[in-house]
Structures are given as C-alpha cells and as structure tokens.
C-alpha cells in the first residue's frame, strides 16, 4: 500500500514499531523482502520491552506524527490510529476482521473510541460480508465504510509458459499451514492424483512435520519447500500448472485471532490471479465475491476430496480450458486487484466522502438535514 501510494504521487511515510533503538537496513530490508521500489520513508517508533514501554511508544508516536504534519493517516494498527485521531489528524483505519473477534475487550473499546473522534474519516474493509458484519453492530458507520478487497503486485512480465515439461502436472499451494487453510484436504487429495505433483510453499518446520506425518503411507507425490522470501514466491506460482486455494469452512490466521472465513479477502487469491495460472479454490461465499465458477476459476466443495480430484483432472485433460480461465482471471486482476488500482479506488472514495461531508456541513449550517447515508464501495 505504501509503495502504491508513493507511486500515485503521494508523499508517504511508513511509521512502524520496533523493539530496537536502531533498525538495521531500513527501507532496503523492505525492498529486498517484498520487491518494492521503496520510494517512501520508513520511520521506526521505538517500543521498549519493559514496564511502561507502551506509554513511551505512544509518546514517541505522537511526536513523530506532530513532526510529519500529515494530511492523512492511514493505518492497520487500531491503537496507533486512535492516537493519530486523538491528535486531530484525519485518520482512516483498515481492518480485515471484526475488532470483537479478538479475545481482549480493549480492542472493541479502542475501536469505539476511534469512530467517535472528530478526526475519524473512514473504515476500510476487505469484503462485503465484513462490511455487513460491522454495520449490524455499528449502523452509524454506514456513511464511513469503504469496501475494497486486498490486492497483489503485477509481476507477470516474465512468466513462463503454461504447461510443465514433465509427465505429472504441478499443483502448487502457497501460504500458511494454519488450521483451515486446506492442508487437511490436500493430504487426502494427493493419493487420489498419482498423475500430479503437489508442491507446498510456506509453513514452519513444526507445521511441515505435522502435515508430513498426516500423509497416507506411501504418498510420494507431495513435497514441502517451507517459507520463501516474498520476492521468490511468485516464481513458484508461475511454475505451476494449477494453483490451489483449498480454504475450509473454518479458517485460522497467524496469532489465532479467531475464525476469518466469513469475511476474509485472501491475498493469495489475487497473487494467484496475477500469476496467470488456472485456479481451483473452495466454493465459499467470500471467495465468490472475487471468483466465479468456470469463468475465472473452478470452485469446489471444500470438504470433498473427490470433487477436487475431478477439478484437477479437468485442468489436466483440457489445458486450453485452463488457459482461458487463467487469462480471464488475470484480466480482472489487472482491472481491479493491483495495489495501484486499490489505492486509486480507495483514495477516490475518500475524496467523495470528504465532499459529501462538506455538503452535509453546509446543509447543517443552513438548518437543513443531511440524509445521505450511502455506503462507499470501491468496486
């Protein structure tokens, strides 16, 4: 997001916490890990791991914001967004789950404090389902919600050809190996597909040991590569014959912050679309906000390994069909799901929201009632 904002012509400063006084490498670390241009400033705010460290972090953050004099604060960190709004700077908060999905009440209390601030401008969420969830609890947010899914970089200029030069088709999964991400299905699916080679990119050593032990005895077409730098992951995606996203009906994320399957907008889907490879994904409501069965992907019952076998067999036996849906998915990615498009749409929505607020304020000063309660959607 920072890179895309900078690319759109905004002067961007990324403020992020660190437990160390000095941060070795600075922006160069981000360039190397994420493959970004890094045409923005990275300011690290110290958060010492000691009693009172949080208070000191807050004071340093307030000072850094005051020094930067920003026109807009855009953040994913709820507490720091609250501080920015309390300082009087226009603040936008983006969240990918309900704040009450976390265990501690402080998150909900901080969220309610944030949306009550005069400087609060908008809440950005990544799915219509998540928007509806917030509006059920906070209907007054209706004029303050922007709905726009996640995105991915467009790295496809040197993508290899579609089919591999081996007898077995290459089925690639990229992502975490947490509960509900689909490893439960893939370890059952592999023995049903002796004509396929399954490659898993991601996961910790402990997770790999766990899932390797879950494979049926004698399964030889399944390999784990472990975690790879973000700049290398795309190469594995583009080397695939099929990319799979076998999300289950209950999905956990890093930090175990609750089930996210109802409202998630997986980055993986957009990276898969960018890779120009056929996608087989779970048929879930939030997935259907982006993918459509037989148009830009194949959507399959997440609990049925046999249905997944048939979907992979279809791609294997009809590579032309795979090319068609992959090309269509890539075209939609270019139009809607790059980081630059996401930034453009969100900033346009913020501008419209600001203009409507100005109109409402003018109407109020004239003694009129402003009844415009439209939800802002970026898509």
Query: How confident is the model over 126-151, as pLDDT tens digits?
Result: 999 899 999 999 999 998 999 999 99
Residues 6+ apart with CB under 8 A from 220: none
Which residue range is the domain that position 306 belongs to?
156-336
Q: What pLDDT band is residue 68 in, cutting at 50, 70 and 90?
A: very high
Tell me, yes or no, whether 212 and 318 share the same domain.
yes
Q: Confirm if 185 and 248 have CB atoms less than 8 A apart.
A: yes
Tell me, yes or no, whether 140 and 186 share the same domain.
no
Q: Is the pLDDT of residue 60 over 50?
A: yes
Q: What pLDDT band is residue 18 in, cutting at 50, 70 and 90?
A: confident
Looking at residue 362, its pLDDT comes to 55
Residue 272 CA to residue 274 CA, distance in Å, equals 5
CATH classification at residue 321? 3.40.50.2000
Question: How large is the average pLDDT for residues 98-119?
Answer: 87
Residue 78 CA to residue 142 CA, distance in Å, equals 19
According to DSSP, the residues that pair with 152 across neighbouring strands are 338
Q: Confirm if 173 and 207 have CB atoms less than 8 A apart.
A: no
Tell me, yes or no, whether 287 and 193 share the same domain.
yes
pLDDT single digits (tens) 92-103: 999 988 888 766
Residue 360 CA to residue 239 CA, distance in Å, equals 53
Q: Is residue 316 part of a domain?
A: yes
Looking at residue 376, its pLDDT comes to 37
Residue 151 CA to residue 345 CA, distance in Å, equals 12
Question: How large is the average pLDDT for residues 244-258?
Answer: 68
Looking at residue 274, its pLDDT comes to 94
DSSP string across 268-305: HHHHHHHTT--EEEE--TTGGGT--BTTTBEEE-TT-H
By C-alpha distance, which of 59, 171, 148 is closest to 336? 148
- Residue 92 class from Cβ within 10 Å (0-12 exposed, 13-18 middle, 19+ buried)? buried
Q: Is residue 378 part of a domain?
A: no
Looking at residue 111, its pLDDT comes to 95
- CA distance readout (Å), 77 to 22, 74, 312, 330: 21, 9, 40, 31
Q: What pLDDT band is residue 355 in, cutting at 50, 70 and 90?
A: confident
Tell me, yes or no, whether 193 and 259 share the same domain.
yes
Residue 325 CA to residue 323 CA, distance in Å, equals 6
Q: Is residue 367 part of a domain?
A: no
Q: Confirm if 12 and 2 have CB atoms less than 8 A apart.
A: yes
Tell me, yes or no, whether 180 and 312 share the same domain.
yes
Average pLDDT across the chain, whole number: 86
According to DSSP, the residues that pair with 16 across neighbouring strands are 44
Q: Quick one: CA dihedral 284, 287, 291, 297, positive or negative?
A: negative
Beta-carbon count within 10 A of 281 CB: 26
Q: Is residue 269 part of a domain?
A: yes
Q: Is residue 259 part of a domain?
A: yes
Tell me, yes or no, whether 276 and 225 share the same domain.
yes
Q: Is the pLDDT of residue 84 over 50?
A: yes
Residue 278, sorted as left (phi over 0), alpha (psi -120 to 50) or beta, turns out to be beta
Q: Quick one: CA dihedral 332, 338, 344, 346, positive or negative?
A: positive
Confidence (pTM)? 0.84
pLDDT single digits (tens) 288-342: 999 999 999 999 999 999 999 999 999 999 999 999 999 999 999 999 999 999 9
Tell me, yes or no, whether 67 and 141 share the same domain.
yes
Q: Is residue 341 part of a domain?
A: no
Q: Is residue 253 part of a domain?
A: yes
Q: Which residues of 39-58 are buried (b: 16+ CB within 10 A; e: fewer)?
A: ebebbbbbbeeeeeeeeebb
Tell me, yes or no, whether 27 and 52 share the same domain.
yes
Total structural domains within the chain: 2
Q: Confirm if 174 and 233 have CB atoms less than 8 A apart.
A: yes
Domain final position from 112, 147, 182: 147
Looking at residue 370, its pLDDT comes to 45
Q: Is the pLDDT of residue 366 over 70?
A: no
Q: Is the pLDDT of residue 161 over 70?
A: no
Q: Is the pLDDT of residue 229 over 80?
A: yes
Q: Is residue 348 part of a domain?
A: no
């Amino acid at each position: 997001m920072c890179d895309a904002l900078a690319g759109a012509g905004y002067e961007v400063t990324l403020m992020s916490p660190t437990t160390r006084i000095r941060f070795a490498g600075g922006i160069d670390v981000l360039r190397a890990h994420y493959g970004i241009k890094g045409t923005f400033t990275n300011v690290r705010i110290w958060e010492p791991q000691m009693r009172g460290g949080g208070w000191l972090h807050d004071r340093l953050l307030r000072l850094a914001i005051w020094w930067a004099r920003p026109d807009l604060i855009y953040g994913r960190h709820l507490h720091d967004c609250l501080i920015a709004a309390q300082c009087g700077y226009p603040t936008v908060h983006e969240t990918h789950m309900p704040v009450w999905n976390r265990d501690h009440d402080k998150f909900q209390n901080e969220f309610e404090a944030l949306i009550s601030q005069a400087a609060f401008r908008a809440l950005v969420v990544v799915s219509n389902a998540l928007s509806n969830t917030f509006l059920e609890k906070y209907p007054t947010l209706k004029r303050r919600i922007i709905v726009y899914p996640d995105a991915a970089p467009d790295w496809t200029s040197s993508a290899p050809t579609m089919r591999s030069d081996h007898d077995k088709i290459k089925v690639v999964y990229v992502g975490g190996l947490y509960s509900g991400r689909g490893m439960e299905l893939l370890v059952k699916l592999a023995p049903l597909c002796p004509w396929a080679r399954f490659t898993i990119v991601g996961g910790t050593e402990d997770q790999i040991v766990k899932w390797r032990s879950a494979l049926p005895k004698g399964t030889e077409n399944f390999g784990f590569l472990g975690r790879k730098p973000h700049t290398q992951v795309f190469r594995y995606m583009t080397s695939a014959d099929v990319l799979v996203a076998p999300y289950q009906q209950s999905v956990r994320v890093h930090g175990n912050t609750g089930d996210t399957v109802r409202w998630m907008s997986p980055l993986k889907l957009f990276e898969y679309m960018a890779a120009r490879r056929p996608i087989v994904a779970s048929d879930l409501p939030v997935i259907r906000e982006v993918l459509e069965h037989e148009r830009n992907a194949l959507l399959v019952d997440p609990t049925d390994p046999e249905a997944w076998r048939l979907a992979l067999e279809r791609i294997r036996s009809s590579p032309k069909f795979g090319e068609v849906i992959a090309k269509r998915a890539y075209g939609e990615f270019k139009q809607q799901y790059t980081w630059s498009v996401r930034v453009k749409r969100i900033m346009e929505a913020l501008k419209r929201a600001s203009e409507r607020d100005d109109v409402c304020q003018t109407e109020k000063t004239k003694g009129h009632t402003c009844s415009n309660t439209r939800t802002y959607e970026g898509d």
